[in-house]
Amino acid sequence: MNDFLAIADHSPDEIRGLLERAATLKKEFQGGGNQPILKGKSLAMVFQKPSLRTRVSFEMGMQHLGGHAIYIGPSEIGLGQRESIADVAGVLEGYVDGIMARVFDHQHVLDLAQWSDVPVINGLSDYNHPCQALSDALTIQEHMKQDQKIKVTYVGDGNNVAVSLMHISAKLGWDFTIANPQGFDMSKQAIEVGESIAKESGSHITRLTDPVEAIQDADVIYTDTWTSMGQEEETKKREAVFPPYQVNAALLAKAKPTTIVMHCLPAHRGHEITDEVADGPQSALFPQAHNRLHAQKAILAELLSDA
């Protein structure tokens, strides 16, 4: 594994290996702390978009493993504007052992990986969010029985989070259903990739417009913001279309009592999810957020460790 840019790039065994490593590192951390397997290693964190979970989980993940992380904000680089991506990659590879980039344009993270001789991690792009998906899968595994057939249902906008969730579900053999309004689908490319993976793994991908139909027999109900960063001009349009897709008590009552609710955060409470669900007994929002730390450590250990 040279980079971590998309779930679809990796085999099911590689994904399972990362999940096992994340679970091991989590147990080790909870038992007193992680071994400093990244002692002397450094990570450049390039941010075009702000973030709470991505920044803190990567920074603390490097610290827990004995390494060091450097935050580089939007004004300090300006990928492809102030300086070419090839030049940025060429400079950083001489300073650090790895690069994590959180970008608007997915092509930027692909270009960083192309021009860099050190590993590149996709901390989020407009196409996908593989780091989030890994922590989501870790959370789902912790809440489910090992031998059960899992159905994951996503309700809302077919955004980058939905893409990676679909791809990792298919890789792991889980059934995936998405319910979204017409015109707010995932990209054709993302769907084709997901269906190709599902064909190999034996899972099923279902696309619906009715959220009630979508959540039938779901083990997981997942939602995210209706308007992602970079789509602010569409806010009013989206707020007029998405209310029927709100994950609220009425919708959850139609699901199984064992169903868990997930959200990658930040949540716009009262929009895509209500307080009573986000803070309710079926919510996995905060365990899910905490698992970002352990999932990131697994990625870092895989890419940067000599062990």
Distances (CA, A) of 261 to 62, 100, 173, 204, 275: 29, 28, 20, 20, 12
Angle between helices 188-201 and 160-171 (to 10 degrees): 10
β-strand 205-208 against 42-47: which pairing, if any?
unpaired
Supply the residues annotated as catalytic: 102, 129, 132, 224, 264, 292
DSSP string of 214-282, one letter each residue: HTTT-SEEEE--SS-TT-GGGHHHHHHHSGGG-B-HHHHTTS-TT-EEEE-S---BTTTB-HHHHTSTT
**Taking CA 44 as the corner, what is the angle to CA 42 and CA 49, rounded to the nearest 5 degrees?**
150
